[in-house]
Amino acid sequence: MEGFTYVDLFATKGVEYLLVIGFLLVLIPFWRLLRAPARAGFEAVRRAIPSLTQWFQLPEGLYYHQGHSWVMPQGADLVKVGVDDFAQKLVGRPNKIDLPQVGSRIEQGEVGWKLGVDSKTIDMLSPVTGEIVAVNKDVLKNPDLINQDPYGKGWLAMVKPHNIYANVKNLLTGRLATAWMEATADTLRQRMGGELGVVYQDGGLPVAGIARVLSPEEWDKLAGEFLLTKE
What's the pLDDT score for residue 209? 85
Q: What is the pLDDT of residues 194-208, one digit of tens each?
A: 544 444 445 445 567
CA 98 to chain centre: 24
What's the pLDDT score for residue 90? 94
Domain-by-domain residue ranges, the chain? 9-48, 53-227
pTM score: 0.74
Contacts of 118 (CB under 8 A, 6+ apart): 95
What's the pLDDT score for residue 55? 81
Identify the CATH number of the domain defined by range 53-227: 2.40.50.100
What's the pLDDT score for residue 97? 98
pLDDT means over runs of 10, the chain (231 residues): 45 52 55 48 39 79 98 94 96 97 98 96 98 98 97 98 92 95 88 55 61 86 94 73
Q: What is the pLDDT of residues 153-188, one digit of tens each?
A: 999 999 999 998 899 999 999 999 999 999 998 888
What's the pLDDT score for residue 10? 42
